[in-house]
Chains A and B, each alone.
Chain A
Amino acid sequence: MARITLDHIRHAYGANPKSDKDYSLKEVDHEWNDGGAYALLGPSGCGKTTLLNIISGLLQPSHGRILFDGKDVTNLSTQSRNIAQVFQFPVIYDTMTVYDNLAFPLRNRGVAEADVDRRVRDILEMIDLAGWARRKAQGLTADQKQKISLGRGLVRNDVNAILFDEPLTVIDPHMKWVLRSQLKRLHKQFGFTMVYVTHDQTEALTFAEKVVVMYDGQIVQIGTPAELFERPSHTFVGYFIGSPGMNVIPARIEGSAVTVGDETLTLDYAPKTSGAAKTELGIRPEFIRLGREGMPVSVSKVEDIGRQKIVRAHFAGQPIAIVVSEDAEIPTDARVTFDPSAISIYADSWRVGREA
């Protein structure tokens, strides 16, 4: 497995890009660890698939270099990069048996048949298709076929990296749980370098050690799931991670005082917002306590979603969401308190720390 270096990479699909907005992928300059599990997360059109295709060699970046373990592979084809890929829709040989589909990448490389058999059996067990080994792939259901695609991506252990492009989209929810936790277990056992593109936050957060959040052609934050949840560095990350996303409320900042409408909160630090055009307070719905204490809110709607309730309310004239447990009572004269350690302050959409 390999360390992946993205050396000042940029990409524009059109010829002669002039300004930043001509680039589908704005500058990316990062190094990803050998054996790391990375998820590229973002809405459609954010550039995540462009970045994945640059890593796999399906696409040549307009600028910059890509290195595997320090070796420049920018001009190498996908085949010569020695990677495994799993796509959103199953790519398998219908006329081959399930077993032969899985054995194909190994036999292709001249692996001894005894080793092929051992690997294939391990994978069959993992994807829960051991009973189907001798069946032809045609006639299997879409998710069985996708399990074969996944298995084929994992069957070789000598690849530089395994790239996944939304591999679980067509899988039923219950099977997603099984496959995802198996991928995670495999990663812990064998330390494959994995890059996983998804628009599903649960998949990204549970799978990856580092989640790369992309928005409008750029990486807005790379962090552990906890970092993205607790300290989103951009309001987009706050919005995109979490369901519902972070409440981002226009606020006036003066020293350590934060004012929203008629309500003023005091932080234990003075955020560095000087010169910012727009200042906002961010607080996740999970960190607002709803009860009889604190600042007044007017509750407009309570959505019972089983495990918890989402309370939609107005706070100082601004719409907010609050998450409470399934057993929680919602008082008629509801008031709220914000957990002070969970408040982030944003200046022109970027999270700011304390005034130096």
Chain B
Amino acid sequence: MLELRNAAKMVGADYHIYPTDLVLERGTLNVLLGPTLSGKTSLMRLMAGLDRPTGGSVHFDGADVTGMPVQKRNIAMVYQQFINYPGLTVYENIASPMRISGKDAAAIDRDVRKAAELLKLTPYLDRTPLNLSGGQQQRTALARALVKNASLVLMDEPLANLDYKLREELRQELPKIFAQSGAIFVYATTEPSEALLLGGNTATLNAGRITQFGPTIDVYRRPVDLATAGIFADPPLNAIEVTKSGNVFTRPNGGTLPVPSHLAAVPDGPVTIAFHPHHLGLAPQTADAARLQARTLVSEITGSESFVHLDYDGVRWVMLAHGIHDIDPDVEIEAFLDTRHLMAFGTDGRAIAAAGHAVAAAGKV
């Protein structure tokens, strides 16, 4: 178990990591999700002991490891920029941590081949890293981290330089490897879809603070604040400020939206309502869908769906519509909002109510 107790990192007068409490259990996969400079790498460096916290402490399996150098802890790290020994073959690169720990040759051979098979490196075992593509080099670094049998594996955007089909396959495989190894895995990414595909737990980071930590799908469905909802949205979250009075939300210019039943208990007054782009469409999703007028900015086609970028009452939204809709820019269109999925946030950004779907899902548990 890895524990951060009020751990903080200050540089000069600025907090890079605000005082943070976090407990990560063995055998779990924990995603750190946040944009560049949100503190993912700083937090990992504290966990690893590469940096000493300026306040608070770090504990591993009950022992205080604050300030213990990284070499003395059984940790593996994988970076976005792959690091390998250029003079060694792929086989020896993967084997190196086991050679250092004095494992016997037969066990090394078995583990190297198993990791190579998993990461599709078997045909390249005799090559040196410089004769490999970038993706193959990164897989070599991943394989080395996996065979090290570390108790804490820290991965900083490890798949960012790989092509997405390979990433898709590795995201399928990695959770299985994690589950088997019993180590604590920490995985930093800027991509919400990557967190969702990996599953496990997610901590969302915003400007040096963990805004929420919990099972990934719960954080996605029930964000505690607007910042978390925004971090956990790709395409970007659509949000708009309105004033609730009774059963209508009103915009400053007088435009209105109906209040769905799951938000009926939200107190009257100013609120921010927000929703994901796939809950806005060109056709009504249900009989109660809200009808609204928007102006198109640009549309993008993915082959089966369309992202339509819109201006709704001066606010920029993205719609993810089923089917192919190549709509010209600057056209007035009618859009439908599935209000069952609206989230509401107070003026302080705290969640007042989660989307109806999340409420229903929580009810079942």
Contacts and interface: CB of A to CB of B under 8 A. Distances in A.
A45 B133 contact: yes
Contacts of A177: 234-236, 318
B278 interface: yes
A305 interface: yes
Nearest to A310: B197
Interface residues on B, range: 35 or more
Contact of A202 (B35, B197, B302): B302
Given A244-B168, A307-B276, A43 B297 contact: no
A7 interface: no
A229 B323 CA distance: 11
Contacts of B191: 173
A59 B298 CA distance: 35
A241 B300 CA distance: 16
A249 to B, nearest CB: 19
Contact of A43 (B163, B303, B329): B163
B283 to A, nearest CB: 14
Contacts of A142: 36
A180 B161 CA distance: 19
B302 A225 contact: yes
Contacts of A181: 297-298, 300, 307, 309
Interface in A46-88: none
Contact of B301 (A226, A245, A306, A326): A226
B127 interface: no
A43 B165 contact: yes
Interface string B155-166: 000001111111
Contacts of A242: 303-304
Contacts of B135: 43-44
Contacts of B165: 43, 239-240, 245
A228 interface: yes
B315 interface: no
A218 B165 CA distance: 18
Contacts of A286: 304
A172 B35 contact: yes
A225 B160 CA distance: 24
A206 interface: yes
Interface string A18-29: 000000000000
Interface residues of A, number: 45
A44 B161 CA distance: 10
Nearest to B133: A44
Contacts of B35: 172-174
A8 interface: no
Given A200-B164, A307-B276, A44 B197 contact: no
Interface string A140-161: 0111000000000000000000
B303 A226 contact: yes
Contacts of A45: 133
A306 B36 contact: no
A173 B297 contact: no
A206 B160 contact: no
A270 to B, nearest CB: 28
Contacts of B207: none
Contacts of A228: 303
Interface in A163-177: 169, 172-174, 177
Contact of B357 (A185, A225, A326): A326
B220 interface: yes
B164 A199 contact: yes
A266 interface: no
Contact of A141 (B37, B192, B301): B37
Given A174-B35, A244-B168, A326-B357, A184 B234 contact: no
B284 to A, nearest CB: 15
B27 interface: no
A47 to B, nearest CB: 12
B197 A305 contact: yes
Contacts of B324: 225-226
A33 to B, nearest CB: 17
Contact of B168 (A174, A225, A243, A326): A243
A306 B164 contact: no
B160 A199 contact: no
B168 A199 contact: no
A205 B303 contact: yes
A188 B302 contact: no
A241 B191 CA distance: 19
Contacts of A307: 276, 278
Contacts of A180: 300
A141 B36 contact: yes
A241 B303 contact: yes
A14 to B, nearest CB: 14
B248 interface: no
B55 interface: no
B199 interface: yes
Contacts of B300: 180-181, 184, 205-207
Interface in B183-201: 190-193, 196-197, 199
B36 A184 contact: no
Interface of A: 43-45, 141-143, 169, 172-174, 177, 180-181, 184-185, 188, 199-202, 205-207, 224-226, 228-230, 239-245, 284, 286, 303-307, 326-327
22 contacts: A44-B135, A44-B163, A141-B37, A143-B36, A169-B160, A169-B161, A173-B35, A177-B234, A177-B236, A181-B297, A188-B329, A200-B164, A205-B302, A226-B303, A226-B324, A239-B165, A284-B304, A286-B304, A304-B196, A305-B193, A305-B197, A307-B278
Interface of B: 35-37, 133-135, 160-166, 168, 190-193, 196-197, 199, 217, 220-221, 234-236, 276, 278, 297-298, 300-304, 307, 309, 318, 324, 329, 357
Given A44-B163, A230-B303, A243-B168, 17 more contacts: A43-B163, A43-B165, A44-B162, A169-B161, A174-B35, A184-B298, A185-B297, A201-B302, A202-B302, A228-B303, A229-B302, A229-B304, A230-B304, A239-B165, A240-B165, A305-B196, A306-B221
